[in-house]
Chains A and B, each alone.
Chain A
């Protein structure tokens, strides 16, 4: 089992969610996060003063999946979240030791 942690542009969330739905990937957790990479900051201006905002709002999608579905999901995210400009985000993949469904106590892949 693998965990996919994708940090994407907030405005791409709907598209990505829909594309994942189409390939049968329903379960996901979404967080609003802030961070920075190569995109660096943007400028905001209040009462004639410019302020550099160096942490940008991003959206984080967390998906736990069986290994056979992994490549398909990752490809889908890359394809839909990509604009080609700096700031598209990153995907991190890591192994998951165990999954437990709280309602039934089931463990392993059938609990995903």
Chain B
């Protein structure tokens, strides 16, 4: 039987696409925008918005094909329809999601590429040149996101080995976390590297939009209005809730008071960690995943970061990177064919080999993202320069790089 367009699936995926867009603009933008100094609020928000715009264009010029086109040696897809030429006109259904249009699958995937870059910006805020960031986005998408995404989702070599990444634990979170770490090593620490949020209200709204949008991210990754989407939605919400409460407990134990920023951070750790597992695990596993991710995230930002001394300003590695690693490995333990009949499952379902594949994916993608980002960052540093002038950093980036200010007296 030839596949036919299912209007329920198509409607859900249209909505999911819009939901994931909301995560980047303004979700991530506001989340980050609240956490920095007031003199840098516009620049910080700008980094996310400009990422979204640039990736939107590149994705349809060549990005989608290089990820999802016919596989070349497991490494990259074939560019057969530059500028998405003829794809929309042909009204085909996606080979990856046979009940929705190819174009819909393509724009849904575009939103993942965009948020991955936007997430990296949290590590480099308050000191990176805007021009350097503009150069970084297309190069990083092309040399890091596109191949990694092809390996895992586009039929590349990791996909052929059977790696399981439901909605982007490796492609999005390990990838952005390791890239962030590489960039901050090149950039160096800010002159004032305290995390004193100038307006937590922005971060509250941002986190709310992220949590809300994450249902498009994870339940949308079922690629249809199905039971699997419902299952993914429930475990996503569960992990976020457990992550939030766990971080609050850590706050209470370590510094004495529950903090709202801690609650937001824990929720995001839980959401990021369940991402690779959302379509493969049950509620019990989601509770464990959210719990462990939140504790590890807490220690990464409050102990590991000061000990090693890198200035990952808004903890992109500490929260997204760490959660992505934990979630991806957890898939190898908790994945079960009872939730998703298309897979063999992980350790508990009697397939211990899956853990090895998951760890391999984390290692390869982590190392690849780190080294490639180091190289890209170094080249940009030599040609354009990564870091703003000392005077601009002290005075603030909004007025110096954009001639605007977030808070005017009159």
- Closest residue of chain B to A47 (Cβ to Cβ) is B301
Partner of B302, one of A44, A47, A51: A47
Flag B241-261 by CB within 8 Å of A: 1 or 0 each: 000000000110011110101
In the bound assembly, the distance between CA atoms of A50 and B255 in angstroms comes to: 8
Flag A31-54 by CB within 8 Å of B: 1 or 0 each: 000000000000011111111000
Residues of A with C-beta under 8 A to B301 = 47-48
- Closest residue of chain A to B200 (Cβ to Cβ) is A46
- Residues 50-73 (chain A) with a chain B CB within 8 angstroms: 50-51
User: At the interface, is chain A mostly helix, strand, loop or mixed?
Assistant: strand
Residues of A with C-beta under 8 A to B382 = none
- Residues 109-161 (chain B) with a chain A CB within 8 angstroms: none
In the bound assembly, the distance between CA atoms of A44 and B256 in angstroms comes to: 11
Interchain CB contact under 8 A, B257 and A46: no
Interchain CB contact under 8 A, B197 and A46: yes
Interchain CB contact under 8 A, A45 and B255: yes
Interchain CB contact under 8 A, A48 and B257: no
Interchain CB contact under 8 A, A47 and B195: yes
Min CB distance, B31 to chain A, in Å? Answer: 13
Min CB distance, A53 to chain B, in Å? Answer: 8
Whether a CB of chain A sits under 8 angstroms from the CB of B196 is: yes
- Closest residue of chain A to B261 (Cβ to Cβ) is A46
Min CB distance, B306 to chain A, in Å? Answer: 8
Residues of A with C-beta under 8 A to B51 = none
Whether a CB of chain A sits under 8 angstroms from the CB of B366 is: no
Whether a CB of chain A sits under 8 angstroms from the CB of B298 is: yes
In the bound assembly, the distance between CA atoms of A51 and B302 in angstroms comes to: 13
Interchain CB contact under 8 A, A48 and B194: no
Whether a CB of chain A sits under 8 angstroms from the CB of B315 is: yes
Whether a CB of chain A sits under 8 angstroms from the CB of B231 is: no
> How large, as a class, is the contact surface on chain B?
20 to 34
Partner of B315, one of A45, A47, A51: A47
Residues of B with C-beta under 8 A to A48 = 250-251, 254-255, 262, 298, 301-303
Whether a CB of chain A sits under 8 angstroms from the CB of B265 is: yes
Min CB distance, B198 to chain A, in Å? Answer: 12
In the bound assembly, the distance between CA atoms of A50 and B302 in angstroms comes to: 10
Min CB distance, A2 to chain B, in Å? Answer: 29
Residues of B with C-beta under 8 A to A49 = 194-195, 302, 306
Residues of A with C-beta under 8 A to B298 = 48
In the bound assembly, the distance between CA atoms of A49 and B256 in angstroms comes to: 12
In the bound assembly, the distance between CA atoms of A44 and B298 in angstroms comes to: 17
Interchain CB contact under 8 A, B196 and A47: no
Partner of A44, one of B196, B250, B265, B306: B196
Interchain CB contact under 8 A, B196 and A51: yes
Interchain CB contact under 8 A, B259 and A45: yes
In the bound assembly, the distance between CA atoms of A13 and B298 in angstroms comes to: 39
- Closest residue of chain A to B303 (Cβ to Cβ) is A48
Min CB distance, B32 to chain A, in Å? Answer: 14
Min CB distance, B294 to chain A, in Å? Answer: 12
Min CB distance, B51 to chain A, in Å? Answer: 24
Residues of B with C-beta under 8 A to A44 = 196
- Closest residue of chain B to A43 (Cβ to Cβ) is B255
Residues of A with C-beta under 8 A to B261 = 46-47
List residues of B whose CB falls within 8 A of some A CB: 194-197, 250-251, 254-257, 259, 261-262, 265, 298, 301-303, 306, 315
Interchain Cβ contacts under 8 Å between A and B, 11 examples:
A45-B255, A45-B256, A47-B195, A47-B265, A47-B302, A48-B254, A48-B255, A48-B262, A48-B303, A49-B194, A51-B196
Given contacts A45-B255, A45-B259, A46-B197, 19 further A-B contacts (CB under 8 A): A44-B196, A46-B196, A46-B259, A46-B261, A47-B195, A47-B259, A47-B261, A47-B262, A47-B301, A47-B302, A48-B251, A48-B254, A48-B255, A48-B298, A48-B301, A48-B303, A49-B195, A51-B194, A51-B196
Q: Which 6 A-B pairs have the closest CB atoms?
A: A48-B302, A45-B255, A46-B195, A47-B301, A46-B261, A48-B254
